[in-house]
A and B are shown apart, each in its own frame.
Chain A
Amino acid sequence: MKSVPKLIARFIGILLLSVILLAIINIALLGLILFKQFPDSSNSDSPYQYAQTVADNLTKTGDSFSLDVNDSTTLKKENIWAVLIDENSKQVIWHTENLPNNVPNSYTLSDISSLTSGYIEGYPTYTGSSNDGLVVLGYPKKSYWKHTTPTWKYKFIANLPQIFMIALSINVILILFIYLWFTGKLTRSVNPIVQSIKDLPKSKRVKLNEKGALSEIAVNINQTSRILQDQEKELKKKEVARADWIAGISHDIRTPLSMVLGYTSQLENSQTLSTENKQKTKVILRQSEKIRNLVDDLNLSSKLEYSMQPLNTTQVNMVALVRQVVVDFMNNDIEDKYAIEWLTEESLSSCMVYADKDLLKRAITNLIQNSINHNPEGCTIYVTVQQQSEQCVIQVEDNGVGITDAQLEKLNHSPHYMISRDSGLEQRHGLGLLIVKQIVESHNGKMTLGHSHYGGLSVCINLP
Chain B
Amino acid sequence: MKNDYIKKKTILLVDDEPELLKMVASILEEEGFEKVFTADTAEHTRALVKEIPPDLAILDVMLPDEDGFSLMEELKKEADFPVIFLTARGEDEDKLAGLGLGADDYIVKPFLPKELIFRMIAILRRTYKKETPYVNLKNCQIDFERAEVLNDEKHLRLTAKEYALLYTLYRNAGRIVTIDALCEAVWGQNPFGYENSLMAHIRRIRQKIEKDPSNPESLITIKGLGYKLMTKEEERDEKRS
Contact = CB atoms under 8 A, between A and B. Distances in A.
Interface of A: 250-255, 257-263, 265-266, 269, 288-289, 292, 295-296, 299, 309-310, 312, 315, 317, 319-320, 323-324, 326-327, 330-332, 342-344, 346, 349-350, 358
Closest 5 CB pairs of A and B: A320-B180, A257-B110, A254-B88, A254-B109, A342-B224
Interface string B18-31: 01100110110010
A323 B225 contact: yes
B111 A258 contact: yes
A309 B89 CA distance: 15
Contact of A259 (B19, B114, B179): B19
* Interface majority SS (helix, strand, loop, mixed), chain B: mixed
A262 B27 contact: yes
Given A315-B190, A349-B195, 8 more contacts: A258-B111, A259-B23, A262-B113, A266-B27, A269-B30, A317-B190, A323-B224, A350-B193
B51 interface: no
Nearest to B24: A262
B216 interface: no
Interface string B175-200: 11111110000000010111100000
B113 A265 contact: yes
Interface residues of B, number: 38
B17 interface: yes
Given A312-B92, A323-B180, A254 B108 contact: yes
A251 B110 contact: no
Contacts of A296: 90
B92 A310 contact: yes
A358 B176 contact: no
A330 B108 contact: no
**Best-buried of A253, A259, A295 by chain B (most CB within 10 Å):** A259
B195 A346 contact: yes
Interface in B69-108: 88-90, 92, 108
Given A259-B20, A261-B112, A317-B190, A330 B176 contact: yes
A269 B226 CA distance: 29
Contact of A327 (B19, B89, B178): B178
Nearest to B95: A358
Contacts of B27: 262, 265-266
B110 A324 contact: no
Contact of B180 (A257, A259, A295, A317): A317
A255 B109 contact: yes
A320 B184 CA distance: 11
A265 B20 contact: no
Given A255-B17, A324-B180, A327-B178, A265 B112 contact: yes
30 contacts: A251-B88, A251-B90, A254-B88, A255-B20, A255-B110, A257-B110, A258-B23, A259-B20, A260-B110, A262-B24, A263-B23, A265-B27, A266-B113, A269-B30, A289-B112, A292-B110, A295-B110, A299-B90, A323-B178, A323-B179, A323-B226, A331-B176, A332-B114, A342-B224, A342-B225, A346-B224, A349-B192, A349-B193, A349-B195, A350-B192
Given A261-B113, A265-B114, A327 B88 contact: no
Nearest to B87: A254
A331 B181 contact: no
Contact of A342 (B108, B177, B195, B223): B223
Interface in B27-76: 27, 30
Contacts of A259: 19-20, 23
A251 B180 CA distance: 34
Contacts of B177: 327
A324 B30 CA distance: 30
A442 B222 CA distance: 33
Contacts of B190: 315, 317
A330 B109 contact: no
Contacts of A261: 110-113
Contacts of B89: 251
A440 B175 CA distance: 29
B17 to A, nearest CB: 6
Given A296-B90, A323-B226, A326-B225, A258 B180 contact: no
B155 to A, nearest CB: 32
A424 B90 CA distance: 28
B189 to A, nearest CB: 10
